[in-house]
Amino acid sequence: MLLKALSSLTPLLAAGILASAGAFANGQPAVEVEIIKFKFIPQEVTVKVGDTVRWTNAEKRQYHSVWFEQAGDPEAPYIFPGETTTRAFDKPGTFPYRCGPHPEMTGVVHVE
Ligand SMILES: [Cu+2]
């Protein structure tokens, strides 16, 4: 499944995944976001350049995704209850994201 997912990613995003894997090797993500009751909690987070954010789906049954559509990412794979996804941020800026299946679910990552 990982290989299948990787094959559809742009080289840029694949590099981001590799970067987040490196962050895991070196320690914990800088910030954790919980996905619960169709919300990203906290809805806005602030990290430093080079940091990794980790989202955990804390729902009992509902899948979601973490899709940086405005950054040009391809639609993100679903994450099911208990699963996580990570993204590393290597540029400063404001990065809004949404859930693919639920457009009303939005969040923002500020990178300083
Ligand atoms: Cu959702």
More confident residue, 27 or 67: 67
CA of 37 to the centre of ligand 1 (A): 9
Confidence (pTM): 0.76
CA of 26 to the centre of ligand 1 (A): 30
The burial class, CB within 10 Å (0-12 / 13-18 / 19+), for 50 is: middle
Q: 């490196």: which residue's tokens?
A: 22
**Which H/E stretch holds residue 23?**
helix 11-26
What letter would DSSP give residue 8?
Answer: T
Q: Provide mean pLDDT across the span 66-84.
A: 97
CA of 99 to the centre of ligand 1 (A): 5
Q: How many domains, the chain? A: 1
The confidence score (pLDDT) of residue 90 equals 94
**CATH code of the domain covering residue 41:** 2.60.40.420
Q: Which amino acid is at 109?
A: V
CA of 16 to the centre of ligand 1 (A): 22
Q: Which amino acid is at 72?
A: G
Domain extent at residue 101:
2-111
How far is Cα 10 from Cα 23, in angstroms, rounded to an integer?
A: 20
